[in-house]
Amino acid sequence: MTRYQHLANLLAQRIEQGLYRSGERLPSVRTLSQEHGVSISTIQQAYQILENLQLIVPQPRSGYFVSSRRAQPPVPAMTRPVQRPVEVTQWDEVMMLLDARADKEMISFGGGSPDLNQPSLKPLWREMSRIAQHNPGEMLSYDVLEGRLELREQIARLMLDGGSTVAANEIVITNGCHGALSLALLSVCQPGDIVAVESPSFHGTMQMLRGFNIKAIEIPTDPQTGISIEALELALEQWPIKAVILVPNCNNPLGFIMPEARKRQVLALAQRHDIVIVEDDIYGELAAEYPRPRTIHSFDIDGRVLLCSSFTKTVAPGLRVGWIVPGRYYDRVMHMKYAAGGFNVPGTQMAVAAFIRNGHYHRHVRRMRQIYQLNMERYTCWVRQYFPVEICVTRPQGSFLLWVELPEQVDMVCVSKQLCQLKIQAAAGSLFSASGKYRNCLRINVALPPNEKNREALKKMGEAIHIAMEE
């Protein structure tokens, strides 16, 4: 992160926290230059970022002032799903979301793809080219079932940042995080079992439950602290729940990071009721604060936490390189991987291993944290500007997903179909509920560059929502 970007982040936080109030004059360029020990041009670049984010406005001969903006919308309240096991629905809506990927003209606010156009990815493309040129036989051969050793060694080193100390031989490479989650469920559940999930929860995970004929019980979830421990305990006492699936770090779709104390509580609850925790840590590396938050797995002492992750969100989804740390279920996971024909592509594993080993991965992730944080600020400003005043908006602590709760009368399922005709894709909140709740909510991908084209698309989305409110 450059000095001016760091300073822009610091000033933006002070504005959001109310330390600089609406309409208040900011310190002069010269004053900030002396205070932070940086050049005047650095301060000017930082102020330019804040001006682009519409957080400040310049006034000739008077300096910079905090924008007179609409009040910060409240955070959504604790969710209240029906707490009984249900069969997962919404498959048709998920297919519509996936089918839209084929339309290159579609502006996809509904997808979960990261920004793939950053120069920090160039070393990865060079590694892939080098491997194809110099190791064609190895690249096209069968992989070992557990995955390339050099990659598992690099992943073990990365996991230290999340507090987990594992050996390379405890890690199994998978076909993305989706493959890791599938292996976890196949290894610990049978058809007809019940699994507890956060509510709202990632639609891909719930469609796995549907495909494996597993029922879901949605647990109330706080948009700032995560799953309700009390509600989960009550559900465990009432139903024969086999496992709980959690995304505790930079949650999808709510964006929270579960506090460490609550992570320990949910693990203690799992131990007391002897259930499995399937932990999805795919977004953990994209936490805004560094060092990154610890995983629940890092507190596990008896192998009941199956940690799943991948490079899909931090690097690129097309690599299809993920992993699982199965704990006590290692042999079962290996059997399920073999049964599913789950050998991995050697070439992409070799490229990712070199990308990490040579220091490019950490540089890329640092860059993306910064970009997504600035994107989040700008998109949140646009949502406040173009959406109804009655909205509630999450305060993501990392990653690139924003959750918006609209007035009850807005049906985003209907609005999304209308937006598709305008080549704008939105993810209605009902996708993230086993029973189809949250029809008045939507998830927005802010990894899309905050350019004029995407700003105009978000404005059209706001107009469609306003019209839906009036009907």
Each residue of 353-396: pLDDT tens digit? 999 999 999 999 999 998 998 899 889 989 988 999 899 999 99
Instruction: Report pLDDT for 69.
Output: 61
Judge if pTM exceeds 0.75. yes
Contact between residue 198 and residue 188 where contact means Cβ atoms under 8 Å apart: no
Instruction: Report pLDDT for 90.
Output: 85
| pLDDT at residue 439 greater than cutoff 90 | yes
Computed over every residue of the chain, the mean pLDDT equals 93
Average pLDDT, integer, range 128-135: 92
CB within 8 Å of 256: residues ≥ 6 apart: 222, 223, 224, 225, 226, 250, 394, 396, 397
Average pLDDT, integer, range 277-289: 96
Cα separation, 341 vs 175, whole angstroms: 11
- Number of residues written out for the chain: 471
Q: State percent of the chain over pLDDT 70.
A: 99
| pLDDT at residue 442 greater than cutoff 80 | yes
Confidence of residue 135 (pLDDT cuts 50, 70, 90): confident
Residue type, 125: W
Confidence of residue 52 (pLDDT cuts 50, 70, 90): confident
Cis check: omega of the bond before 253, within 30 degrees of 0: yes
**CB burial of residue 190 (10 Å; 0-12, 13-18, 19+):** exposed
Instruction: Report pLDDT for 273.
Output: 98
CB within 8 Å of 323: residues ≥ 6 apart: 147, 152, 155, 171, 172, 173, 174, 180, 308, 309, 310
Query: For 138-191, how does the pLDDT look when each residue is reduced to its tens digit (9 = 90+)?
Result: 888 889 999 999 999 999 999 999 999 999 999 999 999 999 999 999 999 999
Q: Which helix (H) or strand (E) holds 63?
A: strand 63-66
Confidence of residue 253 (pLDDT cuts 50, 70, 90): very high
Nearest partner of 249 among 265, 233, 271, 225, judged by Cα: 225
Confidence of residue 302 (pLDDT cuts 50, 70, 90): very high
Average pLDDT, integer, range 403-412: 96
Instruction: Report pLDDT for 389.
Output: 87
Average pLDDT, integer, range 98-111: 90
| pLDDT at residue 91 greater than cutoff 70 | yes
